[in-house]
């Protein structure tokens, strides 16, 4: 069965992560979200973000050493 992802805005992601919109915007600019979470044009794949948090316990991408 195919399910559609939940598409969210900066406001939705900020509320979900309990951060400010400005912080989420800075995180997008720094590229800290995993691949496929930020779609572009101010839109996020909230389904993929929630799955990543469930699997890894964090929404941040691991930095290369």
The reply to whether the predicted model has a pTM over 0.85 is no
Q: Write the DSSP string, 14-46.
A: HHHHT--HHHHHHHHHHT-SPTTTEEETTEEEH
What are the tens digits of pLDDT across the range 31-61?
989 889 999 999 999 999 999 899 888 767 6
∠ CA 43-63-55, rounded to 5°:
65
Residue 47: exposure state from Cβ atoms within 10 A (0-12, 13-18, ≥19): middle
Which residues have CB under 8 Å from 50's CB, separation 6+?
16
Task: Report d(CA 27, CA 31) in Å as an integer.
Answer: 6
């Amino acid at each position: 069965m195919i399910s559609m992802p939940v598409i969210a805005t900066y406001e939705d992601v900020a509320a979900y992560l309990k951060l400010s919109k400005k912080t989420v915007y800075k995180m997008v600019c720094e590229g800290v979200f995993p691949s496929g979470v930020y779609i572009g044009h101010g839109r996020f794949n909230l389904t993929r973000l929630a799955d990543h948090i469930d699997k890894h316990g964090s929404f941040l991408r691991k930095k290369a050493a």
